[in-house]
Amino acid sequence: MIVTVNDRAADAKAWGHTSAGPILRTVTISDQCPTCGGPRGVPERRPFYEDGFNYSVDCWNNPCGHIDLYPAVLAEASVTAS
């Protein structure tokens, strides 16, 4: 599935060097929960307002109850892209 998430690690590195706002990444990840292999939830775009910037990222709830944190999603996407 394709999702857009906030890359806070990249944002932290760029902090003080740019005022472009949050760094968003659109990545492809599995549609299965990495913890149990069950289905992931359906992504929904949600608006956020943070540090003077408006932006939208995808959020989803896995039916199994496992939580996908954005750093883990980005790591999964990096492994998938390699």
| Single-letter amino acid code for the residue at 31 | D
Give me the pLDDT at residue 19, please.
60
* Greatest Cα-to-Cα distance within the chain, rounded to the nearest angstrom: 41
Domain boundaries, the chain: 2-81
Q: What pLDDT does 15 receive?
A: 63
Res. 67: pLDDT tops 80: yes
Q: Which residue has the higher pLDDT, 13 or 47?
A: 47
pTM for the model stands at 0.83
Is pLDDT above 90 for 1?
yes
